[in-house]
Amino acid sequence: MGFDILIIGSGVVGSALAIKTSQLGYKVAIVDSKETFPNSFRHLSVNQKSKAFFNSLNVWKKIENSAFPYEQIKVWDQEGTGFIDFNAQEANLPNLGYIIREGEIQKNLIGEFQKNNIESFWGEPLIKIDHSSGAIVCKTSKQTLQAKMIIGCDGMNSKVRELAEINFRSWSYNQTAIVTNFKTEINDNCIKQTFTSIGPLALLPIKEDESTMIWSIDDDVSYKFISMSENEFTAEVKNKFSEQIGKLEMISKRQHFPLHHLSAKTFANNGIFLVGDSAHHIHPLAGLGLNAGIGDVECLAELIKLNGLEKMKEITSSYNRKRIPINLGLAASMEAFKRGFSQKNIWVKLFRNTAFNIANKVSPLKKKFMELATEL
Ligand SMILES: Cc1cc2nc3c(=O)[nH]c(=O)nc-3n(C[C@H](O)[C@H](O)[C@H](O)COP(=O)(O)OP(=O)(O)OC[C@H]3O[C@@H](n4cnc5c(N)ncnc54)[C@H](O)[C@@H]3O)c2cc1C
């Protein structure tokens, strides 16, 4: 079977790209190794720019039903006096973004495939890519598919990246993210993030009286927190937020994810493109990973629209030129934040508290942070 564009991986990034490119008039297919469509229970923050992109696909109205808007972000240091807050009013926006269950976004995107004539193949892991005959031929576990452009949206352990022999840099953040949901007494439409001595802890509102929690904990102590009873764990979280949240009750099982950094050395080569986590994966402390992936989707779709698939070399070089520096910059900021806050040195602590407080008072600096969170 032949297509213009073949997308490997139907996570949020791959599904959004499939819709956008089919709306440009291309014959698009998407392959996923999962037997049925993914329905992740993780909650993600979606910024204003990604919202505008979902709107351009005509799916935002459906996603919005399960999206919870947040109007404020408060960040502070447990071990000092550092504090910074951002709010929608200062940015002249109705809100700063939304917290949405990933599965709801996936369901609503995949629900649009038929209408947009996107062929989907489930339960078919990609096994081989063959370049030798001009067109690119992909072998899945069940069939052979051919396309002019192959796009790997197959996540951090990308098979496309491996088969295309694209090198990458990767290292462990030496932290594990523990994720769970709580019933909360107070959420005031605010994301609360505090830097504890063992890693950043955030509560993100998902309903009027519910929040999702993500605590990225240093690996030397993470097992202790994973194996604690629900009551002990809840008490630890409550202790870190003190009076800011009122009563807390855990309402979902704790899940945990090891945290790694990854950057592919190139994002495109020989008609094969990497988009989203297959190209770059960062620490979740600023909730920007998916938003960066949607940025890739927007950029690649725009380049395809401008050049057509015939000008593959132009698309390849422009995509690499535009997306690699943005994502490297983002990865460097996450690294600086993570390292800055894991320092036990008193002078570093003093410096970061002062820097936080200055940034909170100096509006151009604060505006820059806000742009990063809302417009990446
Ligand atoms: C704990 C945690 C919290 C996070 N919170 C946020 C947040 O608040 N905001 C935010 O923006 N980002 C957040 N992120 C990052 C975000 O989850 C990812 O950046 C995003 O989900 C990546 O999407 P993707 O579509 O690129 O990849 P994935 O969601 O990983 O999708 C990859 C797809 O490819 C398929 N696949 C894999 N291998 C193959 C193969 N060989 N053949 C066929 N199909 C294949 C898989 O089945 C899957 O469906 C968080 C990450 C973590 C770990």
**The predicted structure's pLDDT at residue 78:** 77
Ligand 1, atom nearest to 288 Cα: 11
User: Residue 273's beta-bridge partner residues?
Assistant: 151, 268
pLDDT band at 356 (very low <50, low <70, confident <90, very high): low
Residue with CA closest to ligand 1 atom 44: 32
pLDDT digits (tens, 9 = 90+) for 301-321: 999 999 999 999 999 999 999
Residues in the chain: 376
pLDDT digits (tens, 9 = 90+) for 177-187: 999 999 998 77
Least confident among 239-243, 282-286, 322-326: 239-243
Ligand 1, atom nearest to 275 Cα: 26
Ligand 1, atom nearest to 290 Cα: 11
Q: Are residues 194 and 90 in the same domain?
A: yes
Please determine, for residue 359, whether its predicted confidence score (pLDDT) is greater than 80.
no
pLDDT digits (tens, 9 = 90+) for 224-261: 999 999 999 999 999 988 767 788 999 999 999 999 99
Q: Are residues 126 and 238 in the same domain?
A: no
Average pLDDT over the chain, rounded to an integer: 89
Q: Are residues 115 and 225 in the same domain?
A: no
Instruction: Record the tokens describing residue 16, joined without a space.
Output: 């959004």
CATH number of the domain enclosing 365: 3.30.9.10
Q: Are residues 86 and 191 in the same domain?
A: yes
CATH number of the domain enclosing 140: 3.50.50.60
Residue 281's contacts (CB-CB under 8 Å, 6 or more residues apart) are 156, 260, 261, 262, 289
Q: Are residues 160 and 279 in the same domain?
A: yes
Q: Are residues 270 and 328 in the same domain?
A: yes
Q: Are residues 48 and 117 in the same domain?
A: yes
Q: What is the pTM of this model?
A: 0.92
Distance from the alpha carbon of residue 56 to the mean position of ligand 1, in angstroms: 22
* Range 253-289 burial, b when 16+ CB lie within 10 A, else e: ebebeebbbbbbebbbeebbbbbbbbbbbbbbbbbbb
Q: Are residues 129 and 48 in the same domain?
A: yes
What is the mean pLDDT of the segment spanning 127-149? 91
- For 373, the 3-state DSSP assignment is helix
Ligand 1, atom nearest to 204 Cα: 8
Task: Find the angle CA(319)-CA(294)-CA(120) to the nearest 5 degrees.
Answer: 95
pLDDT band at 358 (very low <50, low <70, confident <90, very high): low
Side-chain half-sphere of 228: how many Cα atoms within 13 Å?
16
Please determine, for residue 351, whether its predicted confidence score (pLDDT) is greater than 80.
no
Task: Find the angle CA(348)-CA(351)-CA(354) to the nearest 5 degrees.
Answer: 150
What is the mean pLDDT of the segment spanning 154-163? 97
Residue with CA closest to ligand 1 atom 30: 155
Q: What type of residue is 97?
A: G
Domain that holds residue 223: 69-99+171-259+344-375
Task: State whether the beta carbon of 34 lies less than 6 angstroms from ligand 1.
Answer: yes
Q: What is the DSSP string of 221-264?
A: HHHHHHSS-HHHHHHHHHHHHGGGS--EEE-S--EEEEEEEEEE
What is the mean pLDDT of the segment spanning 262-276? 96
Q: Are residues 162 and 295 in the same domain?
A: yes
Structural domain tally of the chain? 2
Q: Are residues 133 and 58 in the same domain?
A: yes
- The whole-angstrom separation of Cα 209 and Cα 213 is 13
Q: Are residues 176 and 243 in the same domain?
A: yes
pLDDT band at 114 (very low <50, low <70, confident <90, very high): very high
Please determine, for residue 89, whether its predicted confidence score (pLDDT) is greater than 90.
no
Q: Are residues 272 and 243 in the same domain?
A: no
